[in-house]
Amino acid sequence: VADCLRQAGVKVSVADLARDDQAEALEDAFRYDRMILLAASYDGGLFPPMEEFLMHLKAKTYRQRRVALVENGSWAPSAGRVMKEYLSAMKDIDIYEPLITIRSAMKEADKEALKALAAAFVSSNI
């Protein structure tokens, strides 16, 4: 997704929440009017660093933004549902539909869905 956006001339900030400084990711979330969150499902819920990030967004009164969601999971993806629950509790958050679900390894259909997501982002439909 980031490569597609960069090729279209969009300024992109990418954070690996398991390795990067969450404070910088939070700063970027407030800097821009929209973002795409990609997360793995974890024990029937959400990967802990993403859950922590969303808790910080809520505590900092994140609002009036558009957010697209991409989840990854093998047999029972749950990350999208949990991310939606967190975001729905925040004011004026517009969650882009459809939620994109990647089941384990990336397939050609997943790549096309991510390209369409990037195109919607570029055209400001996200």
DSSP string, 32-73: SSEEEEEEEEETTEE-HHHHHHHHHHHHTT--SEEEEEEEEE
Let me know the angle formed at the C-alpha of 74 by 15 and 38, rounded to the nearest 5 degrees: 20
Tokens of 60: 């900092």
pLDDT score at 115: 94
Considering the entire predicted model, what is its pTM? 0.92
pLDDT score at 125: 67
Domain ranges (residues) in the chain: 2-122
CATH topology (fold) of 2-122: Rossmann fold (3.40.50)
Residue type, 60: K
Those residues of the chain that have pLDDT short of 50 are none
Tokens of 82: 């949990």
